[in-house]
Chain A
Amino acid sequence: MSDKQTIFNWVYTEKVKDHFMNPKNILEDDDYQEDGKGLVGSMACGDQMLVAIKVENDRIADIKWRTYGCASAIASTSMMSEMVKGMSLEEAYSLTPQMITSELGGLPEHKFHCSVLGDKALRAAVDDYLERQGRDNPYKRQTAKIVCECKGITDQQIEELVRDGSVTTLGQLQELTGLGTVCGGCKDQADQMLHDFLHIYGK
């Protein structure tokens, strides 16, 4: 093994390296006729992802993507695109960043956030597909997780509020939803979540 590979190894796994060097399913055709499209992140934050899907019989028939981001972001999106082909919309919607990173053989801890954008963009694309079809979105509720037990506030509610620009600080979130105002036990988790969502949707 050459020195070069050794250097690479302690940063990224072989699988990450492979997906970074040879990313699969990049959206190259500007005339790609997608059924749904999702764009998350921003170049100012250092990573942005675009996912375009074709859907047949509520299954992901094809997926293409573009990413502005670091090696982990490129590798995660590439890996994700390979994983979801053929999945039902429901399966695709419940894909988690953990599933992507474990398929990649792990990412360095500080790079974990890079994999979060991939599944977010995918969900945004499914949302867009259902909206274009004029259909209800049955998946959203299924995947929501309670963050604040006392007030029953879910991660998706927080995400929505960040996405539409209603909140940018924990204080605003507390004022608007009452989150963390009873026992306060969820505040750290909510703050971290807020931080992550701001990174994904913020400018």
Chain B
Amino acid sequence: MAIRTVYMDNNATTPVDPRVAKVVTDSLDLYGNPSSMHTLGRDAHREIERARALTADMIQAQPREIVFTGCGSESNNTVINLLFLPKVTDGGRNKFISTVIEHPSIYELDEMLTQRGIEVVRIGVDELGKIRMGELKKALDEKTALVSVMAANNEIGTIQDIAGISTMVHDAGALMHTDAVQAAGKIEIDVRKWGVDYLSLSGHKIYAPKGIGALYIREGAPFGPFLLGGHQEDARRAGTYNTTGIMAMGAASEMVCREGRAETQRIARLRDRLEQGIKDRVDRIRVNGHPTDRVAGTTNISFYGAEGESILLYLDMEGIQVSTGSACATGSLEPSYVLMETGVGAELAHGSIRFSLGRYTTEEDVEYVIEKLPPIIERLRRMSTL
């Protein structure tokens, strides 16, 4: 049996902060439907509006620019569906540009878009995971309706220059969306400085529970609801308000505002220590992603001659929870598309592990991983065909 649990999969999901958990528990008493006119309804409504202001603060937005959704994927889907809005495609704008490293809730919609007459262009990335600006510049034209570029990548953590990209996109007269699910809480987000029209957020990556997301819609940006049939969220998203989730999102956002900067500095130090510790003890590895423009908690490492799922499961037996860079564990034989796009090569990509540190990662956790990992790699390499 494992001696301890070391959670290093914070990019997959974060634990719920105990202070957020308290808000969740308390919220259960606010059972009134926030759309109801009576006291119980109004009490819940008040808390929702408070949470909206807190969430807006995290990204320097106005409260009315925030719509709560069910998750980050819903936020992304909502924006993609704007491509069927006449306001957005007016003047023959039927082109959608995204990147080769987007989350599935963006890129898996490509086929549906193509079938429905939208031209889809995906911009490549360099070996550090930065999108190729020249390619984007070339693709942007008077046909472009919408561009979506993730602010920080979930697998390798590379951060994009969203402000610079937004300027280019707006110069072409198109709309700009960024999936900031992995960026929130890890880098400072300022929607005005970034100049984006839409921005997606998720609660469970910032220590709130699963099942709550948010979408920033710049005041004046074209919009139509994805979920229809209700007046909630100012008729921008139908469905009874998720009082509990929304309050949790507000509380989690408030903590990011208050503690985010110090927290990311601490996490970055731990991540650097982990990376160095592994580099010192294990040879034939490659650290993926950008050396500096990378979110604090993420390090993605390819181990030559050791397969990712095997590393993951041996680490799991030591109580260490990580993620593979390879999709093998989820049923596909293909290695991670993000790593392949950055030119890692299939052999190395199959042996990739993502360590994502977070609010509760300690120095002891890092030392424990540095101690336990090298013998596992050594063991797998000994039984490997390499």
Residues on A close to B: CB < 8 A?
2, 4-5, 7-8, 20-21, 23, 26, 28, 39, 43-50, 66-71, 73-74, 110, 113, 199
Of B309, B331, B345, B382, the residue contacting A26 (CB under 8 A) is B382
Query: Smallest CB-CB separation from B347: which chain A residue?
Result: A43
In chain B between 323 and 341, which residues have their CB closer than 8 angstroms to a CB of chain A? 326, 328-329, 331, 333, 335
Alpha-carbon gap, A67 to B350, bound state (A)? 14
Query: Smallest CB-CB separation from B329: which chain A residue?
Result: A70
Tell whether A67 pairs with B383 under 8 Å between CB atoms, given A4-B319, A46-B335.
yes
Q: What would 15 more interface pairs be, CB under 8 Å, given A66-B383, A70-B329, A199-B333?
A: A2-B1, A4-B316, A4-B317, A20-B313, A44-B345, A46-B328, A46-B333, A48-B385, A49-B385, A50-B385, A66-B385, A67-B384, A67-B385, A68-B307, A70-B328
B343 nearest CB across to chain A (Å)? 14
Alpha-carbon gap, A69 to B2, bound state (A)? 24
Query: Smallest CB-CB separation from A110: which chain B residue?
Result: B331
Tell whether A113 pairs with B333 under 8 Å between CB atoms, given A4-B316, A45-B346, A71-B309.
yes
Binary CB contact string for chain B from 310 to 322 against chain A (1 if under 8 A, 0 otherwise):
1001001101000
Query: Smallest CB-CB separation from B304: which chain A residue?
Result: A43
Q: Which residues of A contact B317 (CB under 8 A)?
A: 4, 21
Q: Which residues of A contact B262 (CB under 8 A)?
A: none
Alpha-carbon gap, A87 to B80, bound state (A)? 60
Q: Is the interface of B mostly helix, strand, loop or mixed?
A: loop
Q: Which residues of A contact B316 (CB under 8 A)?
A: 4, 7-8
Q: Are A46 and B383 in contact (CB under 8 A)?
A: no
Interface residue? B112 (CB, 8 A): no
Query: Smallest CB-CB separation from B2: which chain A residue?
Result: A4
Of A7, A20, A43, A71, the residue contacting B385 (CB under 8 A) is A43
B27 nearest CB across to chain A (Å)? 27
Q: Are B313 and A68 in contact (CB under 8 A)?
A: no
Q: Are A43 and B386 in contact (CB under 8 A)?
A: yes
For chain B, the bracket of interface size reads 20 to 34
Closest 5 A/B residue pairs (Cβ): A110-B331, A44-B346, A70-B309, A68-B384, A46-B350
Q: How many A-B residue pairs have CB under 8 A?
A: 71
Binary CB contact string for chain B from 359 to 385 against chain A (1 if under 8 A, 0 otherwise):
000000000000000000000001111
26 contacts between A and B (CB under 8 A): A4-B2, A4-B319, A20-B310, A20-B313, A39-B385, A43-B350, A44-B347, A44-B350, A45-B333, A45-B346, A46-B307, A46-B326, A46-B346, A46-B350, A48-B385, A49-B385, A67-B383, A67-B384, A68-B307, A68-B384, A70-B307, A70-B309, A70-B310, A71-B309, A71-B313, A74-B383
Query: Smallest CB-CB separation from B317: which chain A residue?
Result: A21
Query: Smallest CB-CB separation from A109: which chain B residue?
Result: B331
Alpha-carbon gap, A110 to B309, bound state (A)? 14
Q: Which residues of A contact B1 (CB under 8 A)?
A: 2, 4-5
Q: Which residues of A contact B329 (CB under 8 A)?
A: 70
A49 nearest CB across to chain B (Å)? 7
Q: Are B309 and A68 in contact (CB under 8 A)?
A: no
Alpha-carbon gap, A26 to B386, bound state (A)? 14
Query: Smallest CB-CB separation from A121: which chain B residue?
Result: B385
Alpha-carbon gap, A2 to B5, bound state (A)? 12
Q: Are A74 and B333 in contact (CB under 8 A)?
A: no
A80 nearest CB across to chain B (Å)? 14
A159 nearest CB across to chain B (Å)? 18
Question: In this complex, which of A26, A69, A70 has the most chain B Cβ atoms within 10 angstroms of its Cβ?
Answer: A70
Interface residue? B297 (CB, 8 A): no
Alpha-carbon gap, A5 to B1, bound state (A)? 8
Query: Smallest CB-CB separation from A72: which chain B residue?
Result: B309
Q: Are B385 and A28 in contact (CB under 8 A)?
A: no
Tell whether A74 pairs with B310 under 8 Å between CB atoms, given A44-B346, A44-B347.
yes
Alpha-carbon gap, A68 to B348, bound state (A)? 12
Interface residue? B305 (CB, 8 A): yes
Of A2, A8, A23, A69, the residue contacting B307 (CB under 8 A) is A69
B215 nearest CB across to chain A (Å)? 33
A32 nearest CB across to chain B (Å)? 14
B313 nearest CB across to chain A (Å)? 5
Query: Smallest CB-CB separation from B382: which chain A residue?
Result: A28
B138 nearest CB across to chain A (Å)? 31
A67 nearest CB across to chain B (Å)? 6
Alpha-carbon gap, A94 to B326, bound state (A)? 33
Alpha-carbon gap, A4 to B383, bound state (A)? 25
Q: Which residues of A contact B386 (CB under 8 A)?
A: 43, 68
A58 nearest CB across to chain B (Å)? 27
